[in-house]
Amino acid sequence: MTDTNIDTYEIEIERFADQGRCVGHLDGRVVFVRFALPGERVRIVLDEPHERDDRFWTGEVVEVLHASPLRVDPAWPLAGPVAWDGGVGGADLVHVSLDGQLEWKKAVIEDQMSRLGGVDVDVDVLRVRGDEESKGLGWRTRIEMVADDNGFASMRRRGSHTRVALDSMPLATKALAAIAEKTNVWKGGFEPGAKIRLAVPEPAEGQGAGENFALSVDGTLRAGSERLIETVAGAGRNGHSQDYDIEESGFWQVHRAAPQTLVAEVLRAVDRYGDGAPKVVWDLYSGSGLFTVALGNHFDREGRGLFSVEGAPHAVHSARMNLTADGLERAVTKHGDVSRTLRSVPPRYSRPDIVVLDPPRAGAKKNVCLQVSRAKTPLVIYVACDPTSLARDTKTLLGEGYEIVHIQAYDIYPMTHHVETVAVFRRA
């Protein structure tokens, strides 16, 4: 519980903000408050240090004096406020109803696009199939933890060095929970400070994971397989499922249904807004080839017009394996920084009909957006995991003569402030 010697302050909460916080004012200064909701009156504790003349302060709820109708009891109390014996992180909207989470994410996307992107949008945030039934839990196919001083899997309590031992992970899928039990993840025995990672691809309905999982400790495989098979509905030829072979430590969307959801959205955008079958497609920040393979299966059965760029070498290796295994061996997959690689694109691929961008949280940034524009690209499909970065890159693309013709968001991170947005830009 909260130290009674710590100063607390009453504050009125005004509106949603990004990063899982809401805005209030204290003594004329903006305060970003965790675990609050608009319209509430709450008691908060300020983060240290807060005596400086900063532009804003940050703080956290310790007591709710007047609650919003969007507020619920935290579904995972350990992820709630520190004052309520929580603080482990990983679910910063755990105090918000599922509908309230969609409302929050919609507000943040629209606000960022208006303020930073210079464009007003009306975006729907859709819930992924199955998440309402599971009440926003049970969706993560990958979890990462650290062993505490006693060797138990744990997460750090915010604002301290305290490690909180875990005996479950409510956000994990049923398959991952079963493997965690099978491999004794919750029973301890790890070296203190060891980094623990468990990855379990979602198995076919009615089946278990078998050996298609990986438990690694400090980067060394402890149990399972070094390579994992991820099956994505709709990414194969004629709309069938497609298997992807990836390294166990490699990046993959963590929501059990995110890959198929995003592939379907990208392919719909290409069909609806593209000018027939494209001759050249760029897939930038292509990872293990999720979109590259799906686009090849949709349009280009040999991969003649596919050009992808990815910075992580293990992901490039996986992408090449997946393309070759699917008969798309003529696709060109480059390893390197995206902007530098685009300075020397082979002439055959220098004029793309479609560019798919799926950058990390920092966004594609101005140089890459300008390079896409200078390639005379008619259609750009931007898959964004951060509304702020999307908004900044939107401003660049609008300045280059593009217009937004479609925008759709998906809540593939329930209980967290994160949201995935797909924006489609067409040269005006």
**What span, in angstroms and rounded, lies between the C-alpha atoms of 122 and 421?**
12
Q: Could you give the C-alpha distances from 237 to 233, 288, 318, 326, in angstroms and in order?
A: 10, 18, 19, 9
**What span, in angstroms and rounded, lies between the C-alpha atoms of 348 and 304?**
10
385 catalytic? Reply is yes
**Would you say 265 and 294 are in contact if contact means Cβ atoms under 8 Å apart?**
no
The structure tokens listed for 217 are 């400790």
**What span, in angstroms and rounded, lies between the C-alpha atoms of 375 and 191?**
52
Which one from 94, 246, 385, 419 is the annotated catalytic residue?
385
Q: Is 405 helix (H, G, I), strand (E, B) or coil?
A: strand
> In 10 A of CB 374, how many CB atoms?
10
**Would you say 153 and 196 are in contact if contact means Cβ atoms under 8 Å apart?**
yes
Q: Which long-range contacts (CB under 8 A, 24 or more apart) does 119-126 make?
A: 119/394, 119/398, 119/404, 121/404, 121/407, 123/407, 123/408, 123/409, 123/421, 124/408, 124/409, 125/409, 125/410, 125/411, 125/419, 126/408, 126/409, 126/410, 126/411
**What span, in angstroms and rounded, lies between the C-alpha atoms of 364 and 358?**
8
**What span, in angstroms and rounded, lies between the C-alpha atoms of 222 and 189?**
12
Q: What is the dihedral of CA 139, 262, 118, 391, to 10 degrees?
A: 60
The structure tokens listed for 115 are 């303020």
**Going along 260-388, which residue ranges are E strands?**
281-284, 306-310, 332-335, 354-357, 379-384
Q: What are phi and psi of 190, to 5 degrees?
A: -90, 155
**Identity of residue 193:** G
Q: Could you give the C-alpha distances from 57 to 23, 24, 44, 416, in angstroms and in order?
A: 10, 10, 12, 21
Q: Report the catalytic residues.
A: 385
